[in-house]
């Protein structure tokens, strides 16, 4: 009997181990971080700017303690390497500059992507993340692509930054930069204004992480939720859904083709490539 119990226990342990090792494949198959299979571009010599949060604690408003958070790894690694592999020069910036907090949970082996792995082995990008530019000191008009990354941390600072709103407006009126975001990164657009003092994104088709996904993940303590805030700002909000929105993805281009927004963590690669497609089209005769 003892031998039989040991055999059963061993089988259960082995089964649990195999299940654990197969989890990345399972969640990928369900739709998490889909593989990009579209067109790639040669944008050698052009410039991209990836912007992230500086907020590192998942806390309720008024509190200072909580679980560590920040930018979701894939939401900056996917666009960064997409732009870099297209030949672009890529800078990293954040609201306060200096070290960018990367949400440690998003580097868990279950959801870690090939680009995340590349970041962990890339001293150049690691140095940029440790010494990010402060947005106040960056001239947005000198870039061809400006990408706002998300993650829970972005809910605390991107949508509250008057500097970011002003810089987005300047980039828009410079006409050259294509402006993009993924997930909570869209909050960085809500304070931008046009020359008449009205909200720049009012009437534009846009997306960001859905209120449904926020509820499903049980993280509603953050002060801003993209779907809610985009609707408040007058944007025409779009999203896709799934049995859990964590496995959905959607990318939206506004009618003027200046803003490209991705719904959630699954949308970063496609968003970056759609931005590059629009940039490439400009150079065609």
Structural domains present in the chain: 31-282 (3.40.50.880)
Rounded to whole angstroms, how far apart are CA atoms 266 and 226? 16
Which pLDDT does position 283 carry in this prediction? 75
For residues 173 and 99, give the distance between their C-alpha atoms in angstroms, rounded to a whole number: 30
Question: With 50 as the cut, is the pLDDT of residue 189 above it?
Answer: yes
Q: Which is higher by pLDDT, 22 or 244?
A: 244
pLDDT digits (tens, 9 = 90+) for 222-253: 999 999 999 999 999 999 999 999 999 999 99
68: pLDDT strictly greater than 50: yes
Count of C-beta atoms within a 10 Å radius of residue 278: 17
Task: For tokens 């969640």, name the residue.
Answer: 27
Position 12 scores a pLDDT of 38
How distant, in Å, are the alpha carbons of 3, 75, 86, 186, 242 from that of 43? 65, 21, 5, 24, 34
Instruction: Name the residue with tokens 């992507």.
Output: 113
pLDDT, one tens digit per residue, over 170-179 is: 999 998 999 9
């Amino acid at each position: 009997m003892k031998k039989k119990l040991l055999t059963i226990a061993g089988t259960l342990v082995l089964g649990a181990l195999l299940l654990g090792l197969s989890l990345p494949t399972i969640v990928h198959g369900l739709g998490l971080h889909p593989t990009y299979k579209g067109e790639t571009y040669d944008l050698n010599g052009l410039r991209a700017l990836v912007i992230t949060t500086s907020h590192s604690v998942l806390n309720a408003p008024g509190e200072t303690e909580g679980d560590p958070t920040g930018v979701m790894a894939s939401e900056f690694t996917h666009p960064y390497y997409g732009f870099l592999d297209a030949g672009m020069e890529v800078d990293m910036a954040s609201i306060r500059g200096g070290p960018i907090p990367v949400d440690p949970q998003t580097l868990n082996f279950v959801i870690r992507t090939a680009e995340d792995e590349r970041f962990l082995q890339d001293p150049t990008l690691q140095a940029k993340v440790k010494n990010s530019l402060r947005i106040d000191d960056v001239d947005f008009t000198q870039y061809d692509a400006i990408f706002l990354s998300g993650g829970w941390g972005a809910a605390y600072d991107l949508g509250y930054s008057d500097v970011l709103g002003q810089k987005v407006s300047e980039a828009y009126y410079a006409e050259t930069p294509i402006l993009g975001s993924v997930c909570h990164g869209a909050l960085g657009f809500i304070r931008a204004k046009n020359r008449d003092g009205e909200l720049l994104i009012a009437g534009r088709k846009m997306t960001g992480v859905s209120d449904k996904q926020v509820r499903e993940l049980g993280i509603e303590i953050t002060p801003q939720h993209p779907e809610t805030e985009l609707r408040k700002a007058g944007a025409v909000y779009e999203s896709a859904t799934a049995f859990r929105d964590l496995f959905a993805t959607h990318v939206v281009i506004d009618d003027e083709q200046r803003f490209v927004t991705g719904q959630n963590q699954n949308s970063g690669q496609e968003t970056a490539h759609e931005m590059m497609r629009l940039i490439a089209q400009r150079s065609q005769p």
